[in-house]
Structures are given as C-alpha cells and as structure tokens.
C-alpha cells in the first residue's frame, strides 16, 4: 500500500462510517465504483472498527514488578514484603540435600544502574565475611535475568524489636539489656568497617528465644551510590536509601555517613523501645516519661553534631551498663562540662565561685534550652527540603502561571501548570500538616485552579462547576486557618476574598440566593477589617464586594437595597480614587459601580436616569482604554457599557444611536475573541453583543441582517454550552437568539445525532412567531434588557 492509496481508503472509510450500518455496504459498492481492492480494504477496516471498542483507548500503563517463581537457583515460596529498596521473598535453595530457607531481596527497578552493580561487586565480599550471631548473614547475590540485582540473606523468623518488647511486656531494665545486645552487634559491624545506615525496628527482628538479629547490614550503602554535587530536584531524596524517622541530620543533608550515623539511629531506637515513641514525637514531654539518666543518654546519642555523639555503639552500650548498675552515666558529666565550658567561654571575667552559683540557677534553664534547640534544629532540617519544594511549586504556580496567563491560547497550558503545582502542594500540606504557610499555599492554589477552570478575570476553560468545587475547597482551608487563635486580619481578608469569588461563581451558574449569602459574608468580614485599615487595598476590596452584593440584590428584585449598596460601592471607590488619582483600579471600580446603578435604574423603569449613568461610565472606560489600548479587560468593560447604553437609547426610541453603540460594542468583543479562540468568556460576549445589534437592526427594518446575527449568537452559545453546560450566560444568550431571530432550519444530520439532539433540546421552536418579527417588542419607556446576561459586564465578576 502507498501513502496515497491509504489516504484514498480513509476518505471512503470515514464517509462510510458516518452512515447507518445497514447502508454501508451499498454506499461502499457505489463509492468503490468497481475498484474491488478498495472495496475489500474499506470493508475490512469497517469490520475492524466495529470490533475495536476499547482498543488503545486506555493508555498503556508502565510496567509493574512481576511476581516471581524463581530467582537464580532459588525457588520463591512467597513474598514477605516490599519496601523502599525492593521486594523481599522467602525462598528455598532448590538443588541441595537439605533445603535451606533464605530471604531474597530483589532490588526495585530504577535502582538497577551500573553504579549500583559495580558497588555491589565491591562490597559483597566484605558483607559475606560479616559473621556474628546477631547479624543476619549475606549468603549470595546476583542479577535476575531482567538485570535486577538481588541479595540472598539468612532468613530470620521474628518480630520487630519494638513490638516484641511490647508483646512480651518487658520492663525497662530488660529492654536496656536487649538493646545492649543490639549495640554489640552494631559495634562488631563497625569494627569490620560496615555501617548499617538504615537501622530501624523493621530491620531488627527478635527470634522466639529472645535473641535479636539485625537485617540488611550495609545493604543501604550497596544501593546508595554517593550523591555528589546534587542539585535540588523534586525526587532527589528518593535516590538515597534511609528511613526519615531514624535518619541522622547529616544523612538527611546527604553528607558523609560514618558510624555516628548508626549511633544516632540507635539513640532514636532506644527512646522508642523505652517510651513507645520516637524522640520529638511529643516535644517537651520526653523529660517526664524517661528517667533523667536515660534521657541524657538518648540526648547524647542523638546530638545533631556527629562528633558530639557517643564515639561508638560500644560506648553507648557502656553508658547503659553504668545506668543499669546505678553508676553515674558519662553523658551527664559530658553535659555538665559542656555547659560549664560554654558558660566560662562567654563570661571570662567571672570568678569560678560566682559562676558556680549562677550555674546552679541557670542549669535547669540551659537544659530546657538544649532540648528546645535540638528539637528546633531537627525540625529546621526536615523543613528545609519541604520549604524548597514548596517554593518551587509556588513559583511555578504564580510566576510561571502569571507570565503566560495573558498569552492568547495559553488556557489549557495554565490549567496543566496549576494542576501539577496543586498536586505537589497537596502532598506537602499533608506532610507538613498544621503548617499554616503550607495550608495557605494550598488554598491559594485551589483559588488559582478555580480561576483557570471557570472564574476570575482571565480567559478560562468554561468549567463553572469544577471552579465552584475548587473554590469551596479553598474556602474550607481558609476557614480552618481563620479559626486558629493566631489568625490575623490578613487571614480574615483572604477568607473574605474567597467568599467573594465563590459568590461570583455561584452567580455565574445562576444560584442567586446562595450567591447573595456568600456576598453578605464577604461584606461583613471586610467592613470589620476596614474599621481599622483604611488602605487602598481594603477600600478597593470593599468597593468590589459591595458592588457584587448590590448586583445580586438587584437580580433578586430588591431594587432599593441594590441602589443603596451600590451607593456604598461608588463611595468606597471614589474615596480610593481621591486618595490616589492615578489608581486605575479605583477609577475602573467607580465606573463599574456607576454603570451597575444605571442597570438598576433601568430595571426600575427609569430609563433617562439609566442612560445618564451609563454615559458617565462609558466616558470613564473610554479614557481608561485610551491610556492602555491593548487592555482586554477595558475593552470588555467598554463593550458591555456600550451595549447597555445602546439598549437604553433604543428604549428611548433613538435607533440610530443604538446602532452606532452596538456596532462599536460588537467590534470590541470580536477583537477579544479573535485573540484567544479558546476563551469561552469572549465567545459569550460576542453572542451577547451580536444579539444586541441584531435586535437594533430589526428595529431599523433590516430583518436579514438581524437573522444572520442571531444565528451567529445561537451557534456560539451552543458551542460554549457543549463544553460548559452550567454556563447560564450562554444559555440566556441562546434563548435571546431564539427569541430575536428564528434560526435557519438545519436538516438533521445522521452523522451528528448528538448535535441535533442538543439543538432540539435547547432551542424550543416558537410557533406563532415568524422570521422578521424582530426582537421582543419593547414598548417605549418599558424596561430594557440590562447587562444581566454577561459575566464580565459587572464589577461583580472582576
């Protein structure tokens, strides 16, 4: 087959596919016109297409680990477990007289790098020589056929040391004795130059007889090529093998690992065995639950600075022996001299006698301070990586998103950016639960997502429902943040802003009463803040929030309330504009609120007042746009104001003025739609303005022109509704198009049953109305349609 032939085949294939099944054979015979090969080819493709439901529709999934029945010369009995480094199997050596049970650790895919394999060969000899009764032996190793390194180890049946202590109800002295056996094994390994690097309860099993066995000695190093000069990356830490809860600070920082690393993990383990918790799990309470000497010993083992820990596991063990025998522990002396040294270093002028007196007083304070310092230092280290990642996600979310937000055509890209950032922030907020900064970032991110989905001032994807859901999530987070005792005005202000945004989104999906409720909450919060804060930011927010509420009151028929609330809005904006005449936001706000008042007058039937207000608003917009001709927002504002001014003019019987205003309005929004064809908002605006001009044309006697414009409005609205069924503005535009001009009847197309169904559902035929009837009759002096139907016509939706 040639590419040309394939194209030819496809043409016939697609045409056949659009026909009902029964007609395909007939069509095919006719289309092939005797080209038997073509006919056969298309027929077999059609048959294939009939049976390919689901074929390739679910994307391929990355490979998962295979269950194994055999590894090297070993028969796999079952999987014991899997962890960070790989999967562990219980296996038997198949070809030996006595069947020996072994544990096989198969390294996870992704660890199978050349560096791992090289290191593996180097170290295997050393590990194989590590013979100690309390250390599980490394017996063998190799590579599976699919190149995954595996280690064969002595199989140990037992219980993790922590749970064993609990289940056997060991007392403190017995626990310490058991722990000292573990120390001895670790010390033996250290003398053989092997550091464990990943000591934790899961790696220390206690067998039935009570003897502990340490697993995975040195395994972490085998699998852990040193990372040098590593730059921050989002998954960087996954390369290092350790368990964060037991990892020493230097390990977390990716610095050099020494025997002190194991001493640190032993300290953590000792604390956990004795108290059931790891140190720092409940800061401040450790002192009370551990005897002072043991607490001091744990403290010395877990010092952040490796050099200040016990020099070896043996010394740790030795100090524990002293404790058991009631002798003074070395750690305490060390602590005293440390304190004293520090003190004298700072107060060289003091006499020793004076110092001793002071010491007895400050000793307690220093001890407390040390605890706090250690806890703080550890926390800082743990937080550091978190903070870096948070910053990266944050900069992605804000700087990157904002940089591309104004680029035409970037809407899907922005959604992707926001979603990715959100995933990271969500994980981080979970990790740093209770960290207000992380929670705040998460709420911000949800707000951004809502904006891209279907709200806000920029182009959006037209998914209003999704936006409402995202916003409610943001709101829930903010409410929890505001409920904290330390929450300040900023927190309350953010909460108010979230209420305001939700109100606007609810308005967009035409849930007016819930929208008004949200608006009232926002107003109440902001009024309270404004009592103590007269900054431009707060004043502007208050102005916008009043505006939004006024709009909703108007929509709910409460005209007097609306005029009063909007009066507060114009007052707030006027104050901000007066304080700083160059403040564009204040001027725009003032115009929007003025213009909103025009609408309310219109709804009350006072057309002359409405027209006067609208003219004021248009004048401000023209000056704003003149100063910044590329500004899409001003363009939209002006278009909407012009549209309404035209309506008022036409209500006052001035058709020529109406036509001029409507033409200018449509021209402006067409520019916006052309700039970003995916921008649902701009398309809704074009439909809106086309309907307006259509109606005026109708009044001027140009029925044909009117019909064409209404048909265009209907097409645009249907396209928007297809992607966003909840878009009330598009629905209203569609209805208005249906009333204004009869849509040309399109013959139902079999190939597009969905499209024709949608048409039938949304555009009800209006018997009794004929094409050319023109727009809804509007008696002189009767109310005009206000700017209701457009989302961006109001400050409410800024």
Contact 598, 613 (CB under 8 A): yes
Q: Which of 32, 359, 404, 609 binds other proteins (CB under 8 A)?
A: 404
Site for other proteins in 597-636 (CB under 8 A): none
Please say which residue, 146 or 528, places its beta carbon nearer to other proteins: 146
Q: Which of 110, 133, 210, 765 binds other proteins (CB under 8 A)?
A: 110
Q: Give the C-alpha separation, 583 to 746, whole Å.
A: 51
Site for other proteins in 211-250 (CB under 8 A): 233-235, 238
Please say which residue, 94 or 578, places its beta carbon nearer to other proteins: 94
In the complex, least distance from residue 420 CB atom to other proteins, rounded to whole angstroms: 6
In the complex, least distance from residue 750 CB atom to other proteins, rounded to whole angstroms: 17
Cβ density class 80-97: b for 16+ within 10 Å, e for less: eeeeebbbbbbbebeeee
Q: Give the C-alpha separation, 614 to 248, whole Å.
A: 69
Q: Does residue 402 sit in helix, strand or coil?
A: helix
Does position 433 bind other proteins by CB under 8 A? no
Residue that the structure tokens 């005897």 belong to = 291
In the complex, least distance from residue 90 CB atom to other proteins, rounded to whole angstroms: 17
Site for other proteins in 737-756 (CB under 8 A): none
Please say which residue, 234 or 311, places its beta carbon nearer to other proteins: 234
**Residues, the chain, total?**
798
Part of the chain binding other proteins (CB under 8 A), chosen from 144-152, 281-289, 479-487, 759-767: 144-152
Q: Which of 28, 90, 104, 111 binds other proteins (CB under 8 A)?
A: 111
In the complex, least distance from residue 202 CB atom to other proteins, rounded to whole angstroms: 14
In the complex, least distance from residue 425 CB atom to other proteins, rounded to whole angstroms: 13
Q: Which of 95, 131, 145, 486 binds other proteins (CB under 8 A)?
A: 145
Please say which residue, 152 or 592, places its beta carbon nearer to other proteins: 152
Please say which residue, 223 or 641, places its beta carbon nearer to other proteins: 223
Contact 623, 578 (CB under 8 A): no
Please say which residue, 10 or 191, places its beta carbon nearer to other proteins: 10
In the complex, least distance from residue 143 CB atom to other proteins, rounded to whole angstroms: 10
Q: Which of 35, 399, 402, 628 binds other proteins (CB under 8 A)?
A: 399
Q: Which of 13, 242, 310, 595 binds other proteins (CB under 8 A)?
A: 13
In the complex, least distance from residue 586 CB atom to other proteins, rounded to whole angstroms: 33
Q: Which one from 50, 198, 319, 585 is the annotated catalytic residue?
A: 198
Q: Which of 317, 410, 494, 599 binds other proteins (CB under 8 A)?
A: 410
Comparing C-alpha atoms, which of 452, 450, 456 is closest to residue 469?
450
CA 504 to chain centre: 22
Site for other proteins in 539-598 (CB under 8 A): none
Instruction: Give 778's contacts (C-beta < 8 A, 6+ positions apart).
Output: 650, 651, 784
Q: Give the C-alpha separation, 9 to 384, whole Å.
A: 61
In the complex, least distance from residue 3 CB atom to other proteins, rounded to whole angstroms: 5
Comparing C-alpha atoms, which of 238, 239, 240, 263 is closest to residue 251?
240
Number of residues counted as binding other proteins (CB under 8 A) = 60
Angle (nearest 5°) at CA 326 between 324 and 331: 80
In the complex, least distance from residue 434 CB atom to other proteins, rounded to whole angstroms: 21
Here the tokens at position 621 are: 């917009």
Please say which residue, 418 or 620, places its beta carbon nearer to other proteins: 418
Site for other proteins in 29-88 (CB under 8 A): 44-52, 55-56, 58-72, 82, 84-85
Q: Which of 126, 166, 416, 760 binds other proteins (CB under 8 A)?
A: 416
Q: Which of 100, 391, 420, 537 binds other proteins (CB under 8 A)?
A: 420
Give the x-and-dash track for 278-297 against other proteins (CB under 8 A): --------------------
Please say which residue, 3 or 630, places its beta carbon nearer to other proteins: 3
Please say which residue, 111 or 542, places its beta carbon nearer to other proteins: 111
In the complex, least distance from residue 145 CB atom to other proteins, rounded to whole angstroms: 4
Comparing C-alpha atoms, which of 722, 727, 726 is closest to residue 681?
727
Please say which residue, 319 or 679, places its beta carbon nearer to other proteins: 679
In the complex, least distance from residue 106 CB atom to other proteins, rounded to whole angstroms: 11
In the complex, least distance from residue 68 CB atom to other proteins, rounded to whole angstroms: 6
Site for other proteins in 378-397 (CB under 8 A): 395-396
Query: Phi and psi for 193 in degrees, rounded to 5?
Result: 65, 30
Part of the chain binding other proteins (CB under 8 A), chosen from 201-209, 406-414, 665-673, 711-719: 406-414
Q: How many CA atoms lie within 13 A of 432 on its CB side?
A: 23
Instruction: Give 299's contacts (C-beta < 8 A, 6+ positions apart).
Output: 267, 331, 335, 370, 371, 374
Helix H or strand E encompassing 160:
strand 159-160
Give the x-and-dash track for 674-703 against other proteins (CB under 8 A): ------------------------------
Comparing C-alpha atoms, which of 613, 622, 623, 619 is closest to residue 593?
613
Angle (nearest 5°) at CA 358 between 357 and 359: 90
Contact 554, 599 (CB under 8 A): yes
Q: Give the C-alpha separation, 31 to 8, whole Å.
A: 11
Part of the chain binding other proteins (CB under 8 A), chosen from 8-16, 571-579, 615-623, 704-712: 8-16
Q: How far apart are the first and last CA of the chain?
A: 58
Instruction: Give 588's contacts (C-beta < 8 A, 6+ positions apart).
Output: 620, 621, 624, 634, 637
Part of the chain binding other proteins (CB under 8 A), chosen from 91-99, 203-211, 370-378, 408-416: 408-416
Site for other proteins in 771-790 (CB under 8 A): none
Q: Give the C-alpha separation, 609 to 616, whole Å.
A: 11
Q: Give the C-alpha separation, 335 to 348, whole Å.
A: 20
In the complex, least distance from residue 590 CB atom to other proteins, rounded to whole angstroms: 36
Please say which residue, 233 or 628, places its beta carbon nearer to other proteins: 233
- Is position 198 annotated as part of the catalytic site? yes
Q: Give the C-alpha separation, 266 to 247, whole Å.
A: 10
Comparing C-alpha atoms, which of 291, 258, 264 is closest to residue 278?
264
Please say which residue, 13 or 621, places its beta carbon nearer to other proteins: 13
Here the tokens at position 148 are: 């995954």
Q: Give the C-alpha separation, 242 to 231, whole Å.
A: 19
Part of the chain binding other proteins (CB under 8 A), chosen from 13-21, 374-382, 522-530, 626-634: 13-21
Residue that the structure tokens 């940089």 belong to = 403
Q: Give the C-alpha separation, 167 to 162, whole Å.
A: 9
Contact 271, 286 (CB under 8 A): yes
Give the x-and-dash track for 325-354 against other proteins (CB under 8 A): ------------------------------
Contact 645, 611 (CB under 8 A): yes
Eight-class DSSP state of 51 = T
Please say which residue, 200 or 300, places its beta carbon nearer to other proteins: 200
Q: Is the dihedral of CA 687, 693, 698, 704 positive or negative?
A: negative
Q: Which residues are catalytic?
A: 198
- Residues binding other proteins (CB under 8 A): 1-3, 6-7, 10, 13-14, 17, 44-52, 55-56, 58-72, 82, 84-85, 108-111, 144-146, 233-235, 238, 395-396, 399-400, 404, 407, 410, 412-413, 416, 420
């Amino acid at each position: 087959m040639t590419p040309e032939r394939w194209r030819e085949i496809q043409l016939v294939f697609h045409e056949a596919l659009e026909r009902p099944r029964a007609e395909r054979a007939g069509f095919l015979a006719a289309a092939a016109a005797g080209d038997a090969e073509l006919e056969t080819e298309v027929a077999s493709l059609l048959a294939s297409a009939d049976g390919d439901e689901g074929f390739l529709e679910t994307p391929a999934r990355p490979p998962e680990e295979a269950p194994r029945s055999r590894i090297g010369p070993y028969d796999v009995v079952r999987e014991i477990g899997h962890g960070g480094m790989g999967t562990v199997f219980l296996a038997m050596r198949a070809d030996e007289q006595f069947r020996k049970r072994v544990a096989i650790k198969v390294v996870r895919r992704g660890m199978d790098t050349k560096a791992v394999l090289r290191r593996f060969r180097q170290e295997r000899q050393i590990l194989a020589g590590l013979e100690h009764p309390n250390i599980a032996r490394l017996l063998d190793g190799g590579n599976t056929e699919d190149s995954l390194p595996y280690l064969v180890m002595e199989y140990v049946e037992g219980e993790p040391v922590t749970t064993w202590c609990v289940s056997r109800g060991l007392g403190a002295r017995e626990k310490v004795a058991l722990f000292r056996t573990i120390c001895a094994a670790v010390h033996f390994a250290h003398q053989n130059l092997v550091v464990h690097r990943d000591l934790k309860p899961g790696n220390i099993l206690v067998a039935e007889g009570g003897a502990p066995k340490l697993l995975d000695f040195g395994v972490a190093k085998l699998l852990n090529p040193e990372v040098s000069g590593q730059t921050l990356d989002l998954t960087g830490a996954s390369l290092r093998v350790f368990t964060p809860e037991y990892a020493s600070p230097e390990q977390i920082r990716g610095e050099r690992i020494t025997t002190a690393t194991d001493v640190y993990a032993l300290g953590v383990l000792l604390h956990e065995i004795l108290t059931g918790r790891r140190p720092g799990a409940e800061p401040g309470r450790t002192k009370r639950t551990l005897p002072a000497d043991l607490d001091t010993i744990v403290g010395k083992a877990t010092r952040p600075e490796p050099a200040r820990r016990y020099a070896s596991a043996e010394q740790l063990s030795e100090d524990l022996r002293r404790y058991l025998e009631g002798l003074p522990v070395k750690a305490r002396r060390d602590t005293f001299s440390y304190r004293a040294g520090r003190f004298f270093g700072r107060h060289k002028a003091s006499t020793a006698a004076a110092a001793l007196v002071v010491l007895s007083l400050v000793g307690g304070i220093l001890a407390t301070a040390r605890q706090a310092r250690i806890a703080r230092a550890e926390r800082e280290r743990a937080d550091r990586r978190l903070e870096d990642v948070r910053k990266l996600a944050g900069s992605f979310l804000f700087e990157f998103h904002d940089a591309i937000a104004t680029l035409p055509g970037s809407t899907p890209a922005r959604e992707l950016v926001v979603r990715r950032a959100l995933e990271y922030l969500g994980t981080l907020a979970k990790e740093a639960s209770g960290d207000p900064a992380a929670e705040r970032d998460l709420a911000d991110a949800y707000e951004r997502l809502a904006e891209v989905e279907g709200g806000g001032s920029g182009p959006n994807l037209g998914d209003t429902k999704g936006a409402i859901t995202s916003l409610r999530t943001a709101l829930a987070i903010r409410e929890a943040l505001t409920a904290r005792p330390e929450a300040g005005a900023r927190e309350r202000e953010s909460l108010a802003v979230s209420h305001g945004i939700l109100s606007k989104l609810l308005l967009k999906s035409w849930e007016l009463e819930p929208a008004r409720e949200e608006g009232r909450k926002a107003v109440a919060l902001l009024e309270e803040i404004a009592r103590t804060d007269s900054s431009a930011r707060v004043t502007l927010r208050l102005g916008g929030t009043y505006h939004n509420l006024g709009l909703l009151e108007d929509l709910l028929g409460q005209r007097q309330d609306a005029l009063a609330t909007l009066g507060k809005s114009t007052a707030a904006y006027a104050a901000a504009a007066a304080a700083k005449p160059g403040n564009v936001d204040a001027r725009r706000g003032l115009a929007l609120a003025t213009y909103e008042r025009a609408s309310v007058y219109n709804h009350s039937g006072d057309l002359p007042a409405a027209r006067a207000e609208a003219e004021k608003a248009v004048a401000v917009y023209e000056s704003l746009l003149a100063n910044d001709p590329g500004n899409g927002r001003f363009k939209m504002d002006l278009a909407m104001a012009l549209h309404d001014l035209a309506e008022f003019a036409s209500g006052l019987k001035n058709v020529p003025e109406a036509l001029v205003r409507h033409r200018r309005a449509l021209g402006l929004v067409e520019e916006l739609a052309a700039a970003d064809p995916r921008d649902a908002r701009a398309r809704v605006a074009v439909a809106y303005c086309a309907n307006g001009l259509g109606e005026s044309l109708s009044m001027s006697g140009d029925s044909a022109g009117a019909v064409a414009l209404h048909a265009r409005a209907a097409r645009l609205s249907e396209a928007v509704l297809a992607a966003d069924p909840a878009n009330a503005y598009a629905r209203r535009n569609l209805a208005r198009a249906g009333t204004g001009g009869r849509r040309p009847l399109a013959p139902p197309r079999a190939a597009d049953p969905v499209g024709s169904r949608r048409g039938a559902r949304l555009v009800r035929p209006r018997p009794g109305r004929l094409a050319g009837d023109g727009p809804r009759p509007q008696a002189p002096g009767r109310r005009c349609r206000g700017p209701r139907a457009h989302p961006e016509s109001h400050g409410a939706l800024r």
